[in-house]
């Protein structure tokens, strides 16, 4: 299956609908159980019972979490009788990543400031670590003391 690239003109973008979809996605991602479900679905389709296995909650509770993910468009659920198989839908995650990418300039500035500060610290440490040149000591002969006697 090959995805097609769609170019959407800016006038066709419904910002209210986009905002509503993002709200659903971020709400779905706000729960650790739902994030773990998405992690388990990465690259594979699983039965609801397989998804529920590692959790210490009821099958019904896991099903409710899955329904939140389905409403957000993050999970596609295929039913065959009583058997339900879930798979990951990455489109909404991509849309959320695009939205969050707008704000990378703010933390990128912080990373650049941190890099400059760490560079300054490294330079200071390097200059302090250089061995200081000592003036060579002149060898002095031990002078005999008054109490020392020389045997001849």
Closest by CA to 42, choosing from 79, 83, 1, 89, is: 89
Tell whether pTM > 0.85: no
114 pLDDT above the threshold of 80: yes
| Max avg pLDDT among 50-59, 99-108, 135-144 | 50-59
Report the pLDDT value the prediction gives residue 20, as an integer from 0 to 100.
Answer: 87
Residue 19's pLDDT band, with cuts at 50, 70 and 90, is confident
Fold of 13-98: Arc Repressor Mutant, subunit A (1.10.10)
Q: Where are the domains of the chain?
A: 13-98
H/E segment holding residue 47 = strand 46-47
Distance CA 85, CA 138 (A): 87
């Amino acid at each position: 299956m090959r995805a097609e690239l769609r170019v959407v003109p800016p006038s066709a973008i419904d910002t209210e609908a986009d905002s509503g979809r993002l709200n659903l996605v971020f709400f779905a991602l706000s729960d650790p159980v739902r994030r773990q479900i998405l992690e388990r679905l990465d690259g594979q389709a699983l039965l609801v019972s397989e998804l529920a296995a590692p959790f210490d909650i009821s099958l019904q509770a896991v099903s409710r979490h899955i329904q939140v993910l389905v409403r957000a468009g993050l999970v596609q659920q295929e039913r065959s009788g009583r058997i339900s198989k879930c798979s990951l839908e990455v489109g909404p995650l991509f849309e959320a990543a695009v939205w969050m990418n707008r704000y990378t300039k703010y933390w990128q500035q912080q990373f650049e400031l941190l890099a400059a500060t760490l560079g300054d610290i490294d330079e200071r440490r390097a200059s302090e670590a250089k061995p200081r040149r000592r003036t060579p000591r002149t060898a002095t002969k031990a002078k005999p003391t008054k109490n020392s006697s020389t045997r001849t």
